[in-house]
Amino acid sequence: MRSIAAAAKSLEAGAKSRDLIEQCLARIEDRAGEGARTFLKVHAEPARAAADYYDGLRGRGAAPSPYAGIPVSIKDLFDIAGDVTTAGSTALREAAPAKRDAAAVARLRAAGFIPIGRTNMTEFAFSGLGINPHYDTPRNPYDRQAARIPGGSSSGAAISVTDGMAVAGLGTDTGGSCRIPAALCGIVGFKPTAHRVPTRGAFPLSTSLDSIGPLAATVECCAVIDAVLAGEPSVELLPCSLEGLRLAVPQTMVLDNMEPAVADALGRALAALRKAGARLVDIPLRELGELQGINSKGGLSAPESYAIHRALIARYEKQYDPRVLVRILRGKEQDAADYIDLVAARSEFIARVAAITAPYDALVLPTTPLVAQRIADLADDEAYRRVNMLMLRNPSLVNFLDRCAISIPCHRAGDAPVGLMLVGEHDADRRLLSVAAAVEKVVSPS
C-alpha cells in the first residue's frame, strides 16, 4: 500500500503521475490478482489522459494541489458522468448514464485526484459482509487461499487500496460500510458526521443514516480525503498528545461475542494506550442495550430503502440478491406512525447518550467482534444473517447516534486484521482524526 503523503512527495520530487496510474492499472489487470472482482469498470484511458495533463501542469509549476495526479477508486454507488450507476446490482443495468459526477466525485476531481474505476460492493449497500452474487466477491488479502470476505458494503474500495490498485477508495457508510471492510482488510476507514459531505449523486440506502467517507492506508490519508469531501481547507493533521487523554470503553453489548483474535488484539491495544499515558475508563453505557428494541421493526434503513426500491422491486424483484431483498422488504412492517415514533426515539436516544459521553475525548471499542469469515461458511442463510448482524452491530450504533468514527488496524503483523474503532462526538470530526493519528502510532501493526 502507498500513502497519499508518499505519493504526493514522490510527485513533488519529479515522479510522473502517468507512471503511478500505470502501476495501478497493472495491478488491476493482473490475472493472478483481484482486479476482475474488485472493479466493475476501469477508466484506463481517461485516467491516463488526466495523468498526462497533470504531469504537464506540474512540469510548469502549475499543479492545482499536491494531490494532483493521485489515483482513487470510486464505489459503484456514485454517479460518474457518462457511466451507469449500478450500485452493485443487475437491476439498474439499463438505467440512463449519469449526466454529471456525484458531488463527492466532483470534489475529488477538483482537488486533482484521478478516478481510476468503479469498485464492487454489496448490492445496494445493504450488508456488512461484501458478498455479491452478481459480480463475484473480492477476496480478503489476509487469506486469499481460504477465500475470506472483504467486509462490506464498500468491499472493492478496501481491496483496491490493499492491493495497490488505487491510493485511496471513496466509500459510503450507512451502518459501517467504510469501517467494516477497513477493519477486516487491515486498513483505515473513516465515517464522518453525516451532514459534512453532500450525498448528492450517490444512490441512497437510508437518507437518515447515509454518510460518505474514505478508505486508505493511514489516518492522515483519510484526513486529506475527508477535508476534500467536506469542502474544508487542507491543513496538516497534528496528532494530539495521548498523555491524559480520556478514552471511554463501553461495556454494554459492544464487547459481546468477540472472537479470541479480536479480544486479544483489543486487550493489547488498550494496554498500549494506557502505557502511552491515555486514561481509559470503563463505562457501562447501558443505553446501548436499548437499540435492539428501538430498531425492532428494521430501524431506519428498512423503511427508507423500501421507499426507494419499491417501484424497482415491482419490475426487477427476481434480479435482487434474496438476502438483500428480504432486508429491504422489512420496510413494509412499519407504518407512518411507527416511523415517526422511531425518529423521535432516535433524537431522544442521541441526547441521552451525548450527556454521558461528553466528558471523554473518544469512545474506544472493537470495530467488529469477528475477523473475516470464509465466504463458503456463509452460504447458509442463517449463518449469513447471524454474521452480518454481528459485523454491523458496533459500527451501526455510530450512524444511529449521528457521530463520526474511524477504524484503525490494531492486530499484530501477520495475524488476521482487527479494527479498533474510535468514536467522536457529532461534528467533532477533525478532533477525532487528531486523536486517531496519535492512537495509530501506538496500536497499528509494525
**Choice among 17, 177, 396, 434 that is catalytic:** 177
**Choice among 127, 153, 305, 434 that is catalytic:** 153
Q: Is 153 a catalytic residue?
A: yes
Cell of 198: 453532500
Q: Is 41 a catalytic residue?
A: no
CA distance 22 to 92: 31
Q: Are 33 and 139 in contact (CB under 8 A)?
A: no
Residue 99 has pLDDT above 80, yes or no: yes
Q: Is 75 a catalytic residue?
A: yes
CA distance 264 to 23: 37
Q: Are 34 and 163 in contact (CB under 8 A)?
A: yes
- Strand segments, DSSP code E, in 263-385 are 279-283, 362-366
Residue 204 has pLDDT above 90, yes or no: yes
Taking only the tens place, the pLDDT of each residue in 153-185 is: 999 999 999 999 999 999 999 999 999 999 999
Residue 138's pLDDT band (cuts 50, 70, 90)? very high
Domain residues of the chain, as ranges? 4-230
Percent of the chain with pLDDT strictly greater than 90: 99
Specify the CATH number for 4-230; select among 1.10.10.60, 3.40.50.300, 3.40.1350.10, 3.90.1300.10: 3.90.1300.10
**Choice among 17, 73, 75, 89 that is catalytic:** 75
What pLDDT sits at residue 402? 98
Mean pLDDT of 104-123: 98
CA distance 112 to 65: 6
Q: DSSP letter string over 220-250? A: HHHHHHHHHHHT-------PPP-TT-EEEEE
Residue 71's pLDDT band (cuts 50, 70, 90)? very high
What pLDDT sits at residue 66? 96
- The pLDDT mean for the chain works out to 98
What pLDDT sits at residue 179? 99
